[in-house]
Structure 1
Amino acid sequence: MDLTVIWAFIIAFAVFAYVVMDGFDLGIGILFPTFAAGRERDRAMNSIAPVWDGNETWLVLGGGGLFAAFPLAYAVILPATYPLIIAMLLGLVFRGVAFEYRWRDPAHQKFWDMAFTGGSFVAALAQGMTLGALLQGIEVEGRAYAGSWWDWLTPYTLLTGLGTVAGYALLGSTWLIWKLDGEEQAHARKLAIRWGAATIVLMGAVSLYNISLNADYAARWLTAPEIYWVAPVPILTGIVAISMLRAILKERNSKPFWLGIALFFLGMSGLGVTIWPYAVPEALTIWDAAAPERSQIFMLVGVALTLPLIIGYTAWAYWVFRGKVADEGYH
């Protein structure tokens, strides 16, 4: 049993859970200016009111787990992306404060609505650009970051950032299809078509850019025998993307949201194939960056106890607040 591989999958699971769960409520923030002021915005926000803060549990688990299980990777990635991490955290703060204050300070509701949108957009863009900065490579010398303050800012990271914004908007719109009805649901369907198409185009653009970005990335996707193992990922991605758009057009209720999650899963699977087994591509493998074995065992016991609890209370919260959103809600 390779503890390092187990921890790599635990961190990947936490990141995926965060991207999906916090992704759709960040997506609603990104879409917020397109909603009519008043009832439509209130219902959109009420759809995430019971779950939005709990969704961020997974960010803590992912970041804390990276620090504990792969401390060298954490020590390299964080200095390389400090401006992006700071921007993301400030965006999440603004999003959270705006969520509370727009109800309690109606005289300045327009300002808080802008803060909600701005915080959501900045957080989503920063997360996507952080992923791009990791994929394009981080300069490492002597087990430490050796690049400059602005190495993360490239056309590629801007592309991955925009792709993340589009993907979150897609998740947000499909979530609203599921949770709303009437005119608001019809509006969400129109948004889902637009952002679904944008997400698919940007996923394709990032995938093509990856192949030209690094010869090793290209070899994993385009040479035999590797291509036979990885070919199902783009094929399934295409099938899921078409199925999702059809489900939106056929006015399905929850199906577009679940297919959107499947699209993200396949996208993240593709990224995993691209960089495996590196924690920092071309610089540090997961074994290079891993904590000592005793530390991994000690932490694994804690995760084995707490992870089922997190999954349990998260599932319970979603179950309790299942169904369509009523006019009454968070105030």
Structure 2
Amino acid sequence: MARAVAGYYARQAQPFGRTGDFTTAPEISQAFGEVLGAWCAVLWERMGRPDPVILAECGPGRGTLMGDALRAVGQAAPAFHAAAQVHLVEQSPSLRDAQARLLGGAVAAWHDDIATLPPGPLLLLANEFLDALPIRQFVRRGGAWMERWVQDGAFVERPAEAAPALPAAAPEGAMKEVSEPAFAFVAALAGRLAAQGGAALLVDYGPAAPAFGDTLQAMQAHRTGLDPLAEPGARDLTAHVDFPALAEAARAAGAAALGPLPQGLFLQRLGLMTRAAMLAQARPRLAGEILSGAERLVAPEAMGRLFKVLALCDSRLAPPPGFEES
């Protein structure tokens, strides 16, 4: 999965949007990036207005989210905008080029991993980043766990070796997915936040409670249900994020973990629909498109329930915006 995903993003110059393979929240509504930028500005104030502060994004796509966030805070929170040093965690050369074209000199540096981010207080955003990290799949057979492998273009099952902690009891045929890279990412991020201060917002799709099931999916030209083993590197591969397990890993590393909250609830608490109404009023010819895009992000039957939001932060900080009531 890791090799296929790396190959996909190396080959696909424009995987996002209507003409690509999938569409993410920042491409649907500019209000998404704007309210996340405001979220960061509030956290910066609560952190004591550190200058400089690292403003990072993992998996920034074309740079749309960061561009919207910077424009919003430049107008509403100029002091934060001046203090923020933008760093992007992106491995794809073609996407780095797209980000550079959109954001220009606003980006201080690009990174392959969060390990090379400069030290100091950090505010980090990651939208649909964790779902692309590779997973292992384990299947319950005859009271024991088997691991699913790929051999000659097909799935095979072998006795699980060097397996992570798995439920002691599960029904026959149950599948449990584990993303060790996601655990490593969250543990490293949480450890840094606990030691150096800051907060992170992780937005992705997955269950709010522990769950079994096969969620590996391939997407191409906005079509799902495709064979994930066909045409490796030509299709986007993702899997649901295990938010409860990642929250537990973050707490074990010393950070506070809040959520996950349904994306719709979180965005409404941040005022996304109010902001969308303002944009619609300012651009009456596009009002219908603006409002329908915002509704898509918050409606339970669209992205509002499937997508979740998890916040990680220095435990000395008060609950961040959107999580005060959770």
With CA pairs under 8 Å and 6+ residues apart, which has the higher RCO, 1 or 2? 1
Return the structure number with greater strand share. 2
Settle same-fold status: TM greater than 0.5. no
Return the structure number with greater helix share. 1
TM-score calculated relative to the size of structure 1: 0.30
